[in-house]
Amino acid sequence: MSEREALVHGHCEPRFEAVRSAFEENFRERGELGAAVAVVVDGTTVVDLWGGWADAARTRSWARDTLVNVWSTSKGPVALCAHLLADRGLVDLDAPVAAYWPEFAAAGKEKVLVRHLLSHRAGLSGLREPHSLAQLCDWELTTRRLAATEPWWEPGTRSGYHALTYGHLVGEVVRRVSGLLPGAFLRREVTGPLGIDFGFGLPAEDAGRVAELVQPPVRRSDEQAAVLAQLAPAAVAALTNPAVGAAGANSPEWRAAEIPAANGHGTARAVAALYGILAGGGAHGGPPLLSASAVERVREGQGSCRDLVIGAGFAHETEAGLGLWLSGPNGSYGPNPRAFGHDGFGGSCGLSDPEAGVSLGYTMNRMGPHIADDPRKTALIDALYGAL
């Protein structure tokens, strides 16, 4: 066994040895620095592996309880909060957002529905006015600006990935209805009772076990300008207002804030557990949190299209459900087109497949250049389904 393979620790049932092999190959062949992967099948954890380094200097080993920022893999837990409220009859997904958040009706948004927020169809992929990272960390300011702004396109007509605004939009509905920010609501209703090691932002007491994110090589400024020039204004706003990378996400300000679209911190085991609630018919290691109909609603397709923000990155059209993306013809979450999940900027992933009774969580710290479908994630999913 090579030195890099020796850095891999944890448990893997013999049937899923191919997942371990793919995980080890990620270190040998795909430039992995530090990472973890967990797989749950029918409520049982069959893979729980971790390895590599928690920092760029390779001074800290990745441990069983290492936390890392998972970027947009956080959006699944945000959506879960909204679906819990909907399942209790406290939120109507077909009601106008303004029914819960009256200020949101400004600038022609009075007919935007809650389902439009969940499916990236609200037309609010980014703000029109300049919005800094420090301002993004200010919940009240960000939600106030979102309520006042005009949509980039007619809401409900197509998706445009709400990269950084998603968590504030869905999360403010959660706050208006429950009285709690989504992080506190998730902790009270899900992660606290189930002992799931995940939250939006990072408590100060956990600073010693968080992995350092490492940015992929950046394009030259002229190349970056050429790429941006080809994007629609809605995409530029989504991806650059503000522009956030590893340095920003490693900062104390980012970690102290609540940015539910992008600053969830957790272990792969925690991601697999959260997505496992949806794969397990609404339950994971306890009584059901969601009804079967509510779980099915999460993957209710809202229409496939070439997404206005991330469409150029896929060979096929993509389709969002009500909070997560369908595997579809891309096979982003395995061969079942009705499996669903979410990727995080740079590589991380959460996957749910109710038909197979499977969930997967993958976390890492060396970011790749992909918004979705990183080759390391794809290798793990291919190995998983080859073993089922």
By annotation, the residues acting in catalysis are 72
Q: Is 109 buried (19+), middle (13-18) or exposed (0-12) by CB count in 10 A?
A: buried
CB contact at 8 A, 300 and 151? no
Q: Is 6 buried (19+), middle (13-18) or exposed (0-12) by CB count in 10 A?
A: exposed
Q: What is the DSSP string of 58-96?
A: S-SB--TT-BEE-BGGGHHHHHHHHHHHHHTTS--TTSB
CB contact at 8 A, 202 and 210? yes
CB contact at 8 A, 116 and 155? yes
CB contact at 8 A, 23 and 8? yes
Q: Is 57 buried (19+), middle (13-18) or exposed (0-12) by CB count in 10 A?
A: exposed
DSSP at 109: T
Find the helix packing angle between 166-178 and 75-87, rounded to 10°: 30
| Token output for 166 | 């998603």
| Ramachandran sector of residue 303 (left: φ over 0; alpha: ψ -120 to 50; beta: rest) | left
How many Å apart are CA 45 and CA 36, to the nearest integer?
A: 14
CA dihedral 117, 120, 126, 127 (to 10 degrees): -30
DSSP at 113: B
CB contact at 8 A, 62 and 36? yes
Q: What is the DSSP string of 299-317?
A: T-----B--TTTGGG-SS-
Max CA-CA distance within the chain?
62
Token pair 């800094």 in the structure block, residue: 132
